[in-house]
Amino acid sequence: MNNFFTQLDQKIKNTAWPVMMPQQFNQLLSKGAKLAVVDVRDAFDCCFEDERIAKKHIYHIPFNDFVTEIGKQDFTGYDYIVIMCTAGPKGAVAANILRWMGNDKAFFVKGGVEEFSRFGGKT
């Protein structure tokens, strides 16, 4: 088991974080891009809302359930899968998990909803 954690640690250190800047996310929403938004916040902090994206494209999967629940979702047809959290770290981990699962469309928003709201985003 120790070898597993050594390999995981090495993989994390060598991974380029799939980050999307809040301004870029805001632009994609304004352009009507094909986005799936996955909110990984707990129920009491949730949920992401923005009138520029239909609720059917917003998924709430709390971070603690992410690994067991994300595989149940079908993200076919989306150009981007954007992970939102409160400040960014959990979103970064969730986006990397999706990428490790083979989905290279996954990104997290730098600074999460806190940063996004500073750039005109509505949450």
pLDDT reported for residue 116: 87
**81 occurs within a structural domain:** yes
- Contact in structure between 59 and 36 (CB atoms under 8 Å): yes
What CATH number is given to the structural domain containing 62?
A: 3.40.250.10
Whether pTM > 0.85 for this model: the answer is no
**100 occurs within a structural domain:** yes
Distance CA 18, CA 109 (A): 9
The number of folded domains in the chain is 1
For 31, the domain range is 17-118
Q: What single letter denotes the amino acid at residue 38?
A: V
**10 occurs within a structural domain:** no
**37 occurs within a structural domain:** yes
**42 occurs within a structural domain:** yes
**What string of pLDDT tens digits covers the 123 residues of the chain?**
577 667 766 766 666 778 999 999 999 999 999 999 999 999 887 888 888 999 999 999 999 999 999 999 999 999 999 999 998 789 999 999 999 899 999 999 999 888 888 766 655
**7 occurs within a structural domain:** no
- Contact in structure between 90 and 40 (CB atoms under 8 Å): yes
**5 occurs within a structural domain:** no
**71 occurs within a structural domain:** yes
